[in-house]
């Protein structure tokens, strides 16, 4: 089974950042890390707006919206 990714998170669900998709460019991966999406960091899904719009996540006390294409490249460890 494929690892759960950021896009799979439901509203109000929390998870830990596990890894990045190998196809993600280093430059883009570094940007995610700089914004707080580091390995082991807790991330929470705040809102999943309709019609495939980017989902809203909270990480490091900051709120970002990330598109499906990009969110699915961040793999998670779902907290039980």
Partner 1 sequence: MSAVDTPTLLLLGNPNSGKTLLFNRLTGLRQKVANFPGVTVELATGSSSELGLDLVDFPGIYSLNPLTRDEEVAVQSLQKHLQSSKVRGVVCVLDVTRLERSLFLALQLRQECTRTNRPILFVLNMMDQIIAHKVQVNTKILQAGLGAPVVEVSAKTRKGFQDLNESLTKLASHDSQAAPALSGDTNHLKALAKDLANKAGLKGDLLLRSQYRIDRVALSSFWGLVIFCFTMIFLFQAIFSWSAPLMDGVESIVMSLAELVVPLFGKGVTADFVRDAIFGGFGSFLVFAPQIFVLTLIIGFLEDSGYLARAALICHRPLSFFGLSGKSFVPLLTGHACAIPAIFSSRNIESPKKRLLTMITVPLMSCSARLPVYGLLIAALIPAHTYLGGLVGLQGLSFFALYLFGIVTALVVSGVLKGTLLKKTSDAPFILELPPYRLPNLLAILRKSWDRSLTFVTQAGPTIFVVAVVIWALGYFPNNGELDQSYLASIGQWIEPVFKPLGLDWKFGVAILMSFLAREVFVGTLGTMLGIAGADEDFHGLAEQLHASGLTLASGLALLVFYAIAMQCVATLAVLRKELGSWKIPSLLFVSYSLLAYLAAFSVYTIVNWLAL
Please report how close the Cβ of residue 72 comes to partner 1 at its closest, in angstroms: 11
CA dist 66 and 36 (Å) reads 13
Q: Are 44 and 60 in contact (CB under 8 A)?
A: no
Which lies closer to partner 1 via its Cβ, residue 1 or residue 51?
51
Please report how close the Cβ of residue 12 comes to partner 1 at its closest, in angstroms: 10
CA dist 16 and 61 (Å) reads 15
Under the rule (CB under 8 A), what is the footprint of partner 1? 27-28, 30-36, 38, 41, 46-47, 49-54, 56, 58, 60-67, 69-70, 73
């Amino acid at each position: 089974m494929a690892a759960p990714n950021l896009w799979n998170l439901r509203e109000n669900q929390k998870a830990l950042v596990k890894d990045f998709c190998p196809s993600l460019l280093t430059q883009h991966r570094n940007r995610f890390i700089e914004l707080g999406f580091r390995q082991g960091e807790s991330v929470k899904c705040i809102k999943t707006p309709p019609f495939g719009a980017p989902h809203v996540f909270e990480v490091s006390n900051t709120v970002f919206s990330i598109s499906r294409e990009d969110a699915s490249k961040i793999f998670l460890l779902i907290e039980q």
